[in-house]
């Protein structure tokens, strides 16, 4: 059974009195354990597609089903809950809460999900160890480097054991060496069973994926195999 099924997605935006067609009938299926990279030039609809897949935005037409649940049938509360428990998001600019420590940033989604304090602390420690930041748990986000912040953001995305990890340009703000570390981390996550969909301009990151989906002008124009699963 596919984990994610997107069917004939279209997304239109009104802009300055005109309609911008960001997506024009995109269909996509993601199986559990897939590592999918979505690539294409700026403005081709990559990020819009990711937002629709993650239930952040609603399509103008078409549907998205995660684990058999059609997102468009869910109300705001149910969709929020689904994003909390079944999806993990990684953003280009990390977006950690600066007043919280690394561990507290990781704990936040678990606290929201109602996990007991001891359990979420143990899970946060485990995740920070996984991303190589065991010794930085008590540091505030502002005290971390870009690469470290992105690792914390990845740990935060994994906090509630999501079915699908969605990442939007996760190496876009990082230098080559630091980005390499994030690539390795995504590779390791996928090897450990995580399902990942990543939007990227980074050829190295796309090359790590098992499937590389090429987009242009709101269409999927090609799909190729990468080095990964």
CA 46 from chain centre, in angstroms, equals 12
**Identified binder of another protein from the candidate list 8, 61, 97, 221, rule CB under 8 A:** 97
Rounded to whole angstroms, the Cα distance separating 227 from 40 reads 18
Alpha-helical segments (H) within 33-141: 46-53, 76-85, 102-113, 117-130
Segment 99-158, which members bind another protein (CB under 8 A)? Answer: 108-109, 112-113, 156-157
What's the CA dihedral at 63, 226, 21, 94 to 10 degrees? 90
**Identified binder of another protein from the candidate list 91, 125, 130, 140, rule CB under 8 A:** 91
Q: Token digits for 61?
A: 């037409």
Q: Are 193 and 31 in contact (CB under 8 A)?
A: no
Task: Compare residues 133 and 157 and give the one whose CB is closer to another protein.
Answer: 157
Task: Compare residues 84 and 216 and give the one whose CB is closer to another protein.
Answer: 84
**Identified binder of another protein from the candidate list 89, 167, 197, 214, rule CB under 8 A:** 89
Q: Which of these segments, 49-57, 178-186, 200-208, 215-223, binds another protein (CB under 8 A)?
A: 49-57
Q: Radius of gyration (Cα) for the chain, nearest Å? A: 17
Residue numbers at the binding site for another protein (CB under 8 A):
13, 51, 54, 56-57, 77, 80-85, 87-89, 91, 95, 97, 108-109, 112-113, 156-157, 160
């Amino acid at each position: 059974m596919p984990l994610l099924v997107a069917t004939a997605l279209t997304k239109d935006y009104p802009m300055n009195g005109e309609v911008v067609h960001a997506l024009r009938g995109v269909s996509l299926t993601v199986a559990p354990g897939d590592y999918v990279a979505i690539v294409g030039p700026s403005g081709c609809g990559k990020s819009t597609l990711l937002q629709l897949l993650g239930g952040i935005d609603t399509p103008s037409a078409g549907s998205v089903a995660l684990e058999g649940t059609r997102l468009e049938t869910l109300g705001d509360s149910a969709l929020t809950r689904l994003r909390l428990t079944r999806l993990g998001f990684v953003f280009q600019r990390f977006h950690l809460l600066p007043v919280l420590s690394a561990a507290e940033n990781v704990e936040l989604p678990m606290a929201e999900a109602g996990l007991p304090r001891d359990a979420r602390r143990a899970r946060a420690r485990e995740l920070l160890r996984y991303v190589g930041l065991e010794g930085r748990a008590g540091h505030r986000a502002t005290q971390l480097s870009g690469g470290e912040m992105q690792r914390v953001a990845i740990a935060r995305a994994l906090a509630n054991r999501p079915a699908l990890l969605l990442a939007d340009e996760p190496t876009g703000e990082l230098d080559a060496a630091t980005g390499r570390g994030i690539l390795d981390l995504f590779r390791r996550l996928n090897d450990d069973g995580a399902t990942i969909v990543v939007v990227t301009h980074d050829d190295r990151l796309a090359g790590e994926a098992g499937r590389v989906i090429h987009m242009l002008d709101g269409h999927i124009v090609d799909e190729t195999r990468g080095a990964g699963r």
